[in-house]
Amino acid sequence: MRKSDPSLTQANAARGKGRPRIVETAGPSLADILNLVRTGRATTRQEIERTSQFSRAVVADRLGTLTELGLVDESESGIATGGRAPRLVRFVAERGRILVATLDQTALGVGIADLSGRLLFEHHEAADLTAPAATVCDRLVTLFRWIVDRHAAGVQLWGISLSVPGVVPGPVPGIADTHFLDHTPPILPSWEGSGFVETLTQRFNVPVWMRSSVETMTMGELFAGAGAGLQTMLFIKVGMRIGAGLVIDGRLYRGAQGATGLIGALPVQGANRTGTLDAMAGSEMIAQEGRAAAMSGSSPVLADIQRRGGEVNAIEVAQAAQMGDAAAIEILSQSGRLIGQVVATLANTLNPQIIVLSGSIAQTNDILLAAVREAVYGASHPSVTRDLRILRSQLGASAGLAGAAMVATEAIFAQLFLRDWVMQGTPVAHPAFVQLVAKINTMPAPTPLPLQPPAI
Amino acid sequence: MSISGLGPHGERAAPPERVALLPQDIAAVHGLRVALVMHTLQSDWARQCLSGMVGTFGDCGMAVIDVVDCGFDAQVQIAALDRLILEAPDAIIALPVGNAVVAQAHARVAAAGIKLVLLDNVPTGLLPGKDYAALVSTDNFGLGKIAAEALADHLPQGAEVGLLGYDADFFATNEREIAFWQCLQLIRPDVTVYQARFATIAQAGAAACDLAARHPELAGMFVVWDTPAIAAETALKAAGWTLPMVTVDLGREAAISLAGAGAIVAIAAQQPFRQGVAVAQTTILALLDRSPPAWVALPGIAVTADNVVESFQTVWRMPAPREVLLCRKLVR
């Protein structure tokens, strides 16, 4: 990698004398060229010139600047096609790190990714999200500090991206949807006025982004899972709540309020009652039916778990179904059929290339997937199902972390946002973020952490 | 005992009973070939796990065609996997010795159509069902909790504690480390934890002494597994330090120390033989395309001097060493 060299900077400045290399106007072309390289649409100077339609001089000048900022590297050669081998232009994904976390009702996942969104480390542990927001935040901070110590020593943090179990309000008029948070949205009742986002911003001095768990998992599946390279995908998360993520034209569709895909609220009809899809097919229902089957003795596996003092939850029912327990299979099949009916409606509307089923219940057994497949294939137009694949996610909870990383990188490198920080070389120097930090610093100091990571 | 941790991708643990074999499963895999690529064969844990695997495959009529000792060396493991891919066994069981550095070599196994089942560690980026069939490990988060709860009883108010971790990106030791300091600080908020890391077992003793020298008030230490714990105990003793220690794995030397001869006051034990059996059964289900769970986890066992003899028998399926029996006054 070419290192920033004062004499080089001076030479560039002298070279630029009289030419249209003005700091204020370089931002847009720098952003354009950086994104061409970052997304792999151009890998040599010639390709950048051809794709961007900037002149050779402008491309050379901007690449010089991006190299000095440590954002691109031209030290490797490509394959010669007749003359001298071209220099490859590579985005330096190692330039910064993104801290990511998934906050679920019963689990907490944390990780760290490079600027390409690739996860470098992840860890998941059980957690209770109904605990006070300050407790959850402290736990997150201590885990993040441990990760930074082990996986980001000497590398700058560029952002934090959170996946949360609720709708994250969508675009505000006049502000890009990719803009970082400047306050804590009331995702959970206890988060109101808790300063969750402000604390993370202050402690790590980086912007914070946030999306719903369905949105981040959809993003993760789109970039790192079964949806990689596809344009249209339907992602279904089955848990206590059942939600859908929509990918249209290769991008996550967020709707007007960020509330896309709340299919769990739809009414469905079961064998002898009517209710919302959440209530009729979600993990609460599965657990409840499982406990009833254990009590009545119709499920020997679940009855055995209960007899030994174990708790019959939805995961136990799903595992019992996979082990061949007839009552558990029926519970999962019923849930799958109801979910499948709703998903079939969406499939007929969206005509996806792929439907990905996720959530721990879907991933613990094959029964739910089979029932959803049966319902969707049975209730969809032949044109919709001709090449349709219905799969189970292989990413698991990693989808949320991988997707959260992509939310942050897409936001950091969004054209309008990038133009305002690229000359400084880091999004932490973005004028709006500098203002936010100054504002947060005038607020009362957060209380000390009850948990501290080990000191060196 | 319940499982307190989550899998490498946040999976809920499946119990080893979930991978029990039926007679028709056993009949269907007769004659298949499997290779084992271990991080080391020099530890009690590795030998006992190997014993569980080889015995189970023998019971099922499968041939173990190779057992590789990688000596904790990533390059040795990469070369072994690439060589075994050419041998084309039906399945490979591997314990990845690192993270990113060995990820691609493991991914090549599944890409070559060979079933890959992992022990204890999943390199970041590899996915269950695609790059590997399943992970079989102990509940390492639970092991860290057991160690913290045990050490807490031996610490005075306001104590300083050393955490000697492994300087490699390794799922099992990361989980133990995180669980230990989180749990200790939840149950003993008065305690301060200081950490150091060793890159090789040979460095563990020096790292422990260095940590103790930097923090002379240390009142206890957790070492992430038994072999470096014994190295640390020996080095600390030679340097004149005596402090209660907790660790993971009930190796022979650690059991003797725990029984009363040394500084170890508690051990969070794995069940390597049972884990070996579980990973063999999981591999057989994968070979039969029976979708094994992504993470099969075995609970840890809390061992103190009081139950060291019977725990040793449970873990190793053999009598406790005579030194242990002497310390416990069970023989004269």
- Average of per-residue pLDDT values in chain A: 87
Could you give the C-alpha distances from A320 to A51, A126, A331, in angstroms and in order? Answer: 56, 22, 11
User: Closest by alpha carbon to B274, among B311, B307, B241?
Assistant: B311
Across A137-151, A351-365, B74-88, B287-301, the highest mean pLDDT is recorded for B74-88
List, for residues A156-207, the tens digit of each pLDDT value: 999 999 999 888 887 666 666 678 998 888 888 888 888 899 999 999 999 9
Residue A21: what pLDDT?
47
Judged by a CB distance cut-off of 8 A, whether residue B65 touches chain A is no
Give the three-state DSSP class for B318: coil
Residue B276: what pLDDT?
97
Do the Cβ atoms of A122 and B18 come within 8 Å? no
* Closest CA–CA distance from residue A270 to any residue of chain B (Å): 28
User: Closest by alpha carbon to B266, among B331, B316, B221?
Assistant: B221
Cβ-contact B221, B198 below 8 angstroms: no
User: Closest by alpha carbon to B279, among B81, B57, B70, B123?
Assistant: B57
Closest Cβ opposite residue A398 in set B9, B192, B194: B9
* Closest CA–CA distance from residue A165 to any residue of chain B (Å): 15
Do the Cβ atoms of A120 and B4 come within 8 Å? no
Residue A127: what pLDDT?
87
- Residue of B12, B180, B285 to mutate for A, most A C-beta atoms under 10 A: B12
What span, in angstroms and rounded, lies between the C-alpha atoms of B68 and A142?
A: 39
Give the three-state DSSP class for B196: strand
Residue with tokens 């847009």: A28
Of A13-27, A67-81, A322-336, B122-136, give the lowest mean pLDDT range: A13-27
Whether A20 has a pLDDT exceeding 80, the answer reads: no
Whether A3 has a pLDDT exceeding 50, the answer reads: no
Nearest chain B residue to A450 by CA: give it: B189
* Closest CA–CA distance from residue A63 to any residue of chain B (Å): 30
B131: amino acid identity, one letter: D
Residue with tokens 């029912």: A317
Whether A7 has a pLDDT exceeding 90, the answer reads: no
Nearest chain A residue to B173 by CA: give it: A123
Closest Cβ opposite residue A450 in set B10, B189, B193: B189
* Closest CA–CA distance from residue A451 to any residue of chain B (Å): 6
What span, in angstroms and rounded, lies between the C-alpha atoms of A108 and B179?
A: 13
**ipTM computed for the complex:** 0.85
Of A87-101, A174-188, A220-234, give the lowest mean pLDDT range: A174-188
Across A170-174, A270-274, A330-334, the highest mean pLDDT is recorded for A330-334
What span, in angstroms and rounded, lies between the C-alpha atoms of B162 and B217?
A: 10
* Closest CA–CA distance from residue B329 to any residue of chain A (Å): 35
Whether A1 has a pLDDT exceeding 50, the answer reads: no
Whether A106 has a pLDDT exceeding 90, the answer reads: no
Judged by a CB distance cut-off of 8 A, whether residue B14 touches chain A is yes
- Cβ contacts (< 8 Å) between B189 and chain A: which residues? 450
Backbone φ and ψ of A40, nearest 5°: 80, 10
Do the Cβ atoms of A122 and B130 come within 8 Å? no
User: What is the widest separation between alpha-carbon atoms in chain A?
Assistant: 87
Judged by a CB distance cut-off of 8 A, whether residue B292 touches chain A is no
Residue A175: what pLDDT?
63
Backbone φ and ψ of B8, nearest 5°: -60, -25
Residue B196: what pLDDT?
94
Cβ-contact A172, A416 below 8 angstroms: no
Judged by a CB distance cut-off of 8 A, whether residue A283 touches chain B is no
Report the C-alpha dihedral over residues A239, A240, A241, A246, rounded to 10 degrees.
Answer: -10
Residue B186: what pLDDT?
87
Closest Cβ opposite residue B10 in set A107, A142, A452: A107
Cβ-contact A137, A199 below 8 angstroms: yes
The pTM of the full predicted model, rounded to 2 decimals, is 0.85
Residue A229: what pLDDT?
87
Give the three-state DSSP class for B179: helix
The parts of chain B modelled with pLDDT lower than 70 are 1-2
Closest Cβ opposite residue B12 in set A142, A315, A400: A315
What span, in angstroms and rounded, lies between the C-alpha atoms of B249 and B140?
A: 11
Judged by a CB distance cut-off of 8 A, whether residue B11 touches chain A is yes
Cβ-contact A397, A199 below 8 angstroms: no
Number of A:B CB contacts under 8 A? 99
Judged by a CB distance cut-off of 8 A, whether residue B72 touches chain A is no
* Closest CA–CA distance from residue A124 to any residue of chain B (Å): 5
Judged by a CB distance cut-off of 8 A, whether residue B9 touches chain A is yes
Say which residue, A21 or A27, is predicted with more confidence. Answer: A27
Judged by a CB distance cut-off of 8 A, whether residue A323 touches chain B is yes
pLDDT band at A324 (very low <50, low <70, confident <90, very high): confident
- Cβ contacts (< 8 Å) between A456 and chain B: which residues? 194-196
Backbone φ and ψ of A423, nearest 5°: -65, -25
CA B215 to chain centre: 28
Six token digits for residue B207: 């790292």
Sheet strands side by side (includes A156-164): A119-126, A107-114, A96-103, A156-164, A208-212
Closest Cβ opposite residue B129 in set A107, A394, A451: A394
Closest Cβ opposite residue A454 in set B141, B175, B181: B181
Residue with tokens 């490990």: B137
What span, in angstroms and rounded, lies between the C-alpha atoms of B204 and B181?
A: 19
Cβ-contact B261, B324 below 8 angstroms: no
Nearest chain A residue to B139 by CA: give it: A125
- Residue of B1, B3, B6 to mutate for A, most A C-beta atoms under 10 A: B6
- Residue of A108, A366, A367, A394 to mutate for B, most B C-beta atoms under 10 A: A394
Find the mean pLDDT for residues A431-455: 76
Six token digits for residue A217: 């998992």
Residue A446: what pLDDT?
56
Do the Cβ atoms of A125 and B178 come within 8 Å? yes
Do the Cβ atoms of B125 and A122 come within 8 Å? no
List, for residues A381-434, the tens digit of each pLDDT value: 999 999 999 998 888 888 999 999 999 999 999 988 888 898 888 999 999 999
Judged by a CB distance cut-off of 8 A, whether residue B195 touches chain A is yes
Closest Cβ opposite residue B178 in set A119, A123, A398: A123
Do the Cβ atoms of B7 and A124 come within 8 Å? yes
Do the Cβ atoms of B182 and A142 come within 8 Å? yes
